[in-house]
Amino acid sequence: MQYHHKEIEAKWQKYWAENKTFKAENHSTKPKYYVLDMFPYPSGAGLHVGHPLGYIASDIFSRFKRLKGFNVLHPMGYDSFGLPAEQYAIQTGQHPAITTAVNIEGGTDKQGNKIEGYERQLKKIGLAYDWDREIRTSDPSYYKWTQWIFIQLFNSYYDNDLNQARSIDELINVFEQIGNAKVNASCDEDTPTFSAEEWNQFSEKQQQEILLKYRLTFLAEAEVNWCAALGTVLANDEVVNGVSERGGYPVVRKKMTQWMMRITAFADRLLTGLDKIDWPTPIKDAQTNWIGKSKGASIQFDVQNSDAKIEVFTTRPDTVFGVSYVTLAPEHPLVEKIVTEDRREAVTAYVEQTSKRSERERMADVSKITGEFTGAYAIHPFTGQEVPIWIGDYVLSGYGTGAVMAVPAGDERDYKFAKHFDLPIIHIFKDKDLSEAAFVEKEGFELQNSDVLKGLGYQEATDKIIALLEEKGIGKGKVNFRLRDAVFSRQRYWGEPVPAYYKDGVPYMISAAHLPLVLPEVDEYLPTETGEPPLGRAKKWAWDTSKNEVVSNDLIDNETVFPLELNTMPGWAGSSWYFLRYMDPNNYDQFASKEALDYWKEVDLYMGGSEHATGHLLYARFWQKFLFDRGWAPTDEFAQKLINQGMILGMSAFAHRINGTNQFVSANLKDQYETTPIHVDVSLLVDGDELDTEKFKAWREDFADAEFILEEDGRFMTSREVEKMSKSKYNVVNPDDICEQYGADTLRLYEMFLGPIEQAKPWNTQGLSGVSGFLKKLWRLYHSGEGETFFLSDEEATKEEMKVLHQTIKKVDEDIHNFSFNTSVSNFMIAVNELTKLNCNKRAVLEPLAVLISPYAPHIAEELWEAAGHKESIATAEFPEFDAKWLVEDAKEYPVSFNGKMRFKLELPMDLTKEQIQEAVMSDERTIKQLNGKTPKNIIIVPGKIINIVG
């Protein structure tokens, strides 16, 4: 009986769907386990074989936990808001909701492109998801609750004394009673101090403007990455080398009024919380560095002939007497105010030039030294001396105060800047050589040229100068964080509408009872002619506070009808809490019930890419801590264990075009010419590296008249190179093609077999045949009956057969717990080979073996399980128990040596005493022959190890 993977896989995928085999219950006597994949953005390109790597690994683990008796939640959904769908909508005029649905469900788009559909592709791989819990972030029933969380953030503040988020109503009550002088809360730096009497006399607008300075989501003018071509603000991780990651469009730094999230209030908890979770060290390090906690002092410098003051934060206040200049970030708000007229043109040009570089690019570029003198001077707070004020792009507005007190003697960047612009270097470190570099150590030095700090070391000088700063009222000791408040506005259409309307220029929230605020229809998805976001095109986008509904813009009277917010939320909004919605996805009245939240609590295993380290993974931790503080989430960390799967790399193919021609030369001959490599679609290759030249000519119009210099045997060979698998590199392999030719079980096993889950590994389609052959061999093991029919014997298994089984049970259990899926696959191959040699057909061995392999190759396992007479899915079986007795050796094959030289081997029971072993070896005919009548001088016996006869 042949193994027909197509019929078998279709049969069981249908069975799982109809029987809801993997449906999770929110109430169970079993222990719970929550396995989650980072949900995908559904692009029209669909899946390539690199995408399912993490999905297959998490699927194996979730199936394994079911077999171990757990109630497993393993859901899937789609991060379906975002810029790609909007860009496609702009190009085609098709609503993003339509293209998003087609990308998920499959079909044909407006351009006539056949789209496979993510969901169909995922189901074809046999992933054990509870599809009843599917969510899409662009579904109003989902983003209703994203908007609800936004409103709760708006209606909350951060109490620094209690170290938690609290209701804004509590703060208002404090203001009414005693004002804000004694309030210790996270707020804007320019928040005024007021009494209760003053608060109560403020107008409604004034009160709301003050509350905005405390709210956890608030409006503020911020430096943002503005991409004019995309018409939106981009997050730092969406900008690469000064251009947008998507499309490669220019990005500039620009000040705009934006919705912000006060993530900085949670900075210390986000840092200390990393100690409580089992996440990869590189992820923790990335978040630690991004948060950037540092201790030091803030110091105030007056500006000469001005009321302006420059506040700097420094981790080295002990070096304050080494300050020879002050450097501001080019975008610092004081630059425009203090620059002298003779320096204005140069400074303005430099500021504009810097705006085209991202913060990441500026931080990374340590070799290039640029800057401009503002013409202004600061006054040293202790010496009273004039200190020139410069601007330089090595100072970032997003870190500290956007200003640094430059100490060339003690900081490498300050030193290089001073050397480049011939600025003074004050030697404050006794007996240290500053001729080639700054002295940056915090120990092993004594200060000189430092007034009251002369002769002191780092700690003593730091303590003394901070005390002096606070005594003089010109600074204080301070803990600083590199982390900045997160920009939460996007000037685009395809995102969650912000549930805010504007009354007298101040934002108010729509009541949660009237959510969701649904995206309006617009005629185009581009910004308006006056530069407003796409929602500015909506004709019906105003809020009627008397009717609590969206009405026509024509009705705006600023009395009962007000304009709605035109910005939408960023891509990370919906992904910052989706793991909670999966716990209770169909709840209309709450984002999830308390019962469901208390039952599932948190994600036990989270699988996804490391590229989200300082984006999604940080924002999600922030939202979780907020929801925990306000009593809406049961834990303050959302995922206990995180695994970052590696990348499957593609094997790209290149045809080498002779420069200046449309002539291509075979790879083995390319060194004879000056050529440029051109990516070739790997589907055009035959027999490995050979290019089908006729298909190549038909592939692209510009290659239609291509000519080819062939090998002597008439073939045209491409060169190959391992790269990231990408549609743009034409090295993508469609998993559907693999499932069609080899089967989903082959794909699953092969992806795990490639190597450790965390490592990157190259894809090689030729390796599939070996895994396919293994599955056929497994199939034959169960079909040893007459005419290759299915047959299991109820005879007792031999010791050798049971040994193979229990070795496999032990190894697979250990491997899955250690996420060493590749070694499990190797062990399955070894086990099947050994059982085949033993002609094993015993039910006692082959039934447990099917259960062991079912997490990896579920379709074939289900078929074999059913053939063995079981009525229920193999997913409901129990994982076989390991019994160590089958691995205990009851006999030992001893090497028998004479005067240290091994002459023969003798198998003896392991439980024999030393005397019994000696009796057995001395009575053996081979011993008698070796001794030839002689009496040995000594007989050395170590039970279980050696026998040596001497003399």
Integer Cα distance of 403 and 536 in angstroms: 37
Closest CA relative to residue 638, chosen from 585, 583, 572: 583
3-state secondary structure of 602: coil
440 vs 526, more confident: 440
Q: If you average pLDDT over residues 168-192, what whole number do you get?
A: 96
Which H helix or E strand runs over 18? helix 5-19
Position 910 scores a pLDDT of: 82
364 pLDDT more than 80 = no
Q: How far apart are CA 808 and CA 850, in angstroms?
A: 11
- Residue given tokens 């004039």 in the structure block: 386
Q: What is the chain's percent helix, strand, coil content, to nearest 5?
A: 40, 20, 40
φ, ψ of residue 568 in degrees (nearest 5): -115, 175
Residues of each annotated binding site: 727
Q: Please, what is the end-to-end C-alpha distance for the chain in angstroms? A: 63
Model pLDDT for residues 771-780, shown as the tens digit of each residue: 999 999 999 9
Distance CA 847, CA 781 (A): 11
User: Between these two residues, 366 and 825, which has the higher pLDDT value?
Assistant: 825
Query: Per-residue confidence at 932, pLDDT binned at 50, 70, 90?
Result: confident
The confidence score (pLDDT) of residue 628 equals: 98
Going by the DSSP 8-state scheme, the letter that residue 880 receives in this structure is: P
Read off the pLDDT of residues 240-270 as tens digits, 9 standing for 90 and up.
777 887 788 888 887 888 999 999 999 999 9
Cis peptide bond upstream of 140, omega within 30: no
For strands 217-227 and 252-261, give the pairing.
antiparallel
Q: Could you write out the three-class secondary structure of 369-424?
A: CCCEEEEEEEECCCCCCEEEEEECCCCCCCCCCCEEEECCCCCHHHHHHHHHHCCC
pLDDT of 370 strictly over 80: yes
What pLDDT does residue 687 have? Answer: 81
pLDDT of residue 175: 98
Categorize the per-residue pLDDT at 719 as very low, low, confident or very high, splitting at 50, 70 and 90: very high
CA atoms within 13 A on the CB side of 365: 17
Whole-number pLDDT of residue 246? 74
Do 74 and 84 meet the contact criterion of CB atoms below 8 Å apart? no
794-823, pLDDT tens digit by residue? 999 999 999 999 999 999 999 999 999 999
Q: What pLDDT sits at residue 350?
A: 95
Give residue 237's pLDDT: 65
Percent of the chain with pLDDT over 70: 100
Please state the rounded mean pLDDT for residues 844-871: 98
Digit-coded pLDDT (tens) for 353-362: 888 887 777 7
Q: What SS3 string covers 820-856?
A: CHHHHHHHHHHHHHHHHHCCCCEHHHHHHHHHHHCCC
Compute the mean pLDDT over every residue in the chain, rounded to the nearest whole number.
94
Q: Please report the pLDDT score of residue 541 as a whole number.
A: 98
Q: What is the pLDDT of residues 54-99, one digit of tens each?
A: 999 999 999 999 999 999 999 999 999 988 888 888 888 889 999 9
Across-strand partners of 226?
233, 252
Q: What is the pLDDT of residues 412-428, one digit of tens each?
A: 999 999 999 999 999 99
pLDDT in tens, 435-463: 999 999 999 999 999 999 999 999 999 99
Binding-site residue ranges for ATP: 727
Residue 9, CA distances (Å) to 78, 456, 711, 773, 857 in order: 25, 76, 43, 17, 10
- Mean pLDDT for 634-638 is 98
Let me know: does 715 contact 665? Beta carbons within 8 Å.
no
Q: Which of 393, 572, 359, 398 is nearest to 485 (CA)?
A: 398
Residue 13 confidence (pLDDT): 98
Higher pLDDT pick, 103 / 364:
103
What is residue 773's DSSP assignment?
Answer: H
